[in-house]
Amino acid sequence: MQNSSMPRTTLVLGVLLIAVGVIGWLAAGMSSWTALIPAILGVVLAVCGVLGRSNPKVWIHAALVVALIGALGTLRNVLGLGDLLAGEAERPLAVISGTISFVLLVGYVVLGIRSFVAVRRERRSAVS
């Protein structure tokens, strides 16, 4: 996994989530710290991405755990999409920010799993 692009992908995801969180917080009038939750996740993932350059096996696994927990945590907001589209959402910014975060995090988890599968296949073919 040393030649993997996952550390860079993790860092990019972290930066995107920081942007989602900060934009959401600014759009909420800087009144709710919970709007920064995507940014907090982003900082953790960005750190994992940087550390993953030297030890990807540990840090990308850690990042995937954080991403999975984050995706599960944002699922509640995704379930509010129907209310948002009907114009009845109690917290529309939270639904939008949470949905964007969910899509990014799930996409990352899928990429991470595909990367691990590819590494495993590569190791098997090298042994054969």
Least confident of 50-59, 96-105, 118-127: 118-127
Average pLDDT over residues 10-32: 96
pLDDT grade for 3, boundaries at 50, 70 and 90:
low
Confidence (pTM): 0.91
* 48's tokens: 């994992």
For residues 104 and 88, give the distance between their C-alpha atoms in angstroms, rounded to a whole number.
Answer: 25
For residues 99 and 35, give the distance between their C-alpha atoms in angstroms, rounded to a whole number.
Answer: 13
Cβ-count burial 3-14 (b if 16+ within 10 Å, e if not)? ebebbebbbbbb
Q: Using CA of residue 22, residue 102, residue 58, residue 16, what is the dihedral sign?
A: negative
Residue type, 50: V
Compare 120 and 19 and report the one with higher pLDDT.
19
Q: Between vectors from CA 92 to CA 91 and to CA 93, what angle results, nearest 5°?
A: 95
